[in-house]
Structure 1
Amino acid sequence: MADAATRLATLAEDLLGSPLSVRLRAWDGSEAGPPGGPVLVIRDRRALRRMIWRPGELGLARAWVAGEIDVEGNLYEALDQLSGFIWERGGESGGLLSSLRDPRIRAAAGELLRLAGPLPPPRPPAEEVRGRSGGRHSRRRDKQAISHHYDVGNDFYALVLGPSMVYSCAYWSEAGTLEDAQRDKLDLIARKLALKEGDRLLDVGCGWGSMAIHAARAYGARAVGITLSREQAAFARKRIAEEGLTDRVEIRVQDYRDVPDGPFDAISSIGMAEHVGAERYREYADLLHGLLKPGGRLLNHQISRRPEPDEEAYRVDAFIDAYVFPDGELAPMGRTLTTLEDAGFEVRDVEAIREHYALTLRRWVTNLEKEWGRAVRLTSPGRARIWRLYMAASAVAFERNRIGVNQFLAVRTPASGASGVPLRPREWTE
């Protein structure tokens, strides 16, 4: 197989109708494409078989997780350059790889078949989600999905997230560490919720307990944190005991649909609503509204996507669904706001902070790369590669405004109309 890189580059350029933006190195040692930038390395032609048999992101993802393709050089730059090849083509969704099924280019795909060889691809990597059971977003299936993502080891997450153990967008100032920015995010939420001594806070999707601990320690609140991850709950309970806060903070392994002991003065939901699903979102909003006292506040911190011209055509990202967040879904910001209002909330403030998430993700990637050997030992080579790719690709997506993240402050406003929100609410950010 002489000069495989040149043949691949020619094929890609014919299909793209433009020069290749990234250099290629093939399994035979050949190279093609522009020099001086990142290099897409195809270590094994089994990667091509995966892409032929499963066109689109999933075939490419399987090759990445298996280590059959890699990037040398700046990963962010490579992902940015390859975005049209993978995700977009002429404004259409899907990208070039998904178009390999198009009859117009089957002749070109024949060359890819010759390069790939006649054998079928190997089995998908072990890290891929298998055996989902129960209806989509049923209690049983949601628990399986959460376990897949979060029960991969608290030590691994501590390596990536750092001492704050907060797995959501930080809130950055001009300077400061990741831990500073995460502390500032938790404090911003506490202030938006107007927490005070003795308030009952429900933290939905509490993770490793950081918001509940901050609310109790800094504001004297009594917090209940709920999660479906047993590993998260065990870690959070240990932290709470070490902080001497067991009389103020309770952590439960519990579905948000099963909380029996409202009402609460405030509810925080930080990076959890992405797991709810479009068909369950109104139920989610109704339940949280019902769990609040009149005058109580909800802070809903949630990733959003750009609206689609045809919303019926929206599809969950194949790589994310198979390897990262099974059954996770993103909604446009406007739909979230409307659903909260339909449930009876008065939405008083929306703060868009997508650039903050790009900065956060880049810090997490740096943490992972600095401790790569340990990360592999704590999980697996494939799992470490998944986290590196998804966090780096997500950083690029936030930077390019493909996705965003927003904080919605909503109030269960009483019949009197007295919301309790200050006349100049943004003073909480000063």
Structure 2
Amino acid sequence: MKLPSGQQSPTPPAPATPRPTQTNEASQPGRETIALSARQQLDQIQLANRETILARVAEVINRQGSGSAEVMLEVRGKPLQVNAAIGATELTPGDWVKVMRAGNELQLMGKLAATPEAAITKALAQRMLWQQSLDSGLAKLMTALNRGLVPELKPGQLPTARGLQPLPEAARLAIETLLARLPASNTLAPGAGNQNNSVQQIRQWIAESGLFAESRLTQTPSPALPDLKLAIGRMITSLLAEQGGNPATSFNRLMPLASPSLAQAPLQFPQAVVPAASSEPTSVGQTLRMLAGMLNRITVNQLHSQILTARGGGDTPAPTSTLLMDLPWVTPQNEPKLAQLRLEQYKEESSAKGRNEKRAAISEWRLNLAIDLELAGALNFEVSLRQHEVSARVWAEKQETLKQVNEELPLLRRSLVELGLEVTDLECRRGSPSYPTTKLEHRLVDTRA
């Protein structure tokens, strides 16, 4: 196996054997019990023979002589204690290692290198299974705003004796400000895309999506900036302050609440539409866990974008930069929905006519927008812009919507021409497009001395 640096892969260290709950080395039946226990543990984490997987070092329990140690690994969210012969490999809690099942043993193939891409991959792996869908989370926040929160049970208190408590003032203000700035579906009429106020609204919508929170803070260091990610942080701080104690320490102890669809396919674009959230009030603890999951969702989009951008610019046709984001909006019935956006830039050098002429970089922008409307159903838009040439394709799942979109295409063509663009292709198709699925690549370091 070749490493990205071009060096040969290191010889794998001695295998790590899952530690059984009972051992008996004095007899043959005891050895069978050990093998059965190890096999059962590996089967429980659904790891097939010769399959490799990324595991997190949760704890180095006991470092023994001759380079061996007892290590607690987290594999697919489940703990697995192993006796590992790791040689001179430095393993510390939080490290990510690549392991392979070989019969009833695990072989340590290597660990993530300390490179910027590896750090992003590690952060992404830690968060991607703990994402809460933003639309369902916003629906719960609307309920909390209108009806309040269920207070936590106190010792000796019966559930029936509890009443709803209002949100803390700071949290209420953050939610009200956030919801007031969400775009509504009836604010953008067909054909209004070339109007300055509509363009400005869309720019604001994207800028405040949370994807650019950190870069905006460096430009304007104010925590009161209108931004989805910063607003969630203000809500969390306010709720934790009401509970007493250190907000930072308390937040780190929270287990984020995850949406099932995001846990099953954490890096998929677009994500499947999730059912509407229950309108029942939640407790303070449940709300904090939900907010933590929403924060993870935005952070995953940020890290996912960085991973895809880091892979671009090679010999194969790949985007040199990629942005993935969720854009919340509300229906006329004040129900939160999501539009999912993927924006990619492709760069290539133009051919120079003369020997001394410099080659200019030509950019092609590709935009994919996925949205699910109550009456029209699921719609996907693919737009490509290369200098002054534009092409667009619309995908509709409903036959009635397909017919309606085809009737509106002349208006879309006219609007694009009025913007000074040359329309090369414009069509609508039935169904939905297919998008590539991101697979995390793990760069390894030599695990020997």
TM-score interval (norm. to shorter)? under 0.3
Superposition TM-score, scaled by structure 2 size? 0.23
Structure with the higher fraction of residues in helix conformation: 1
- Which one has the largest radius of gyration? 2
* TM-score, normalised with respect to structure 1: 0.24
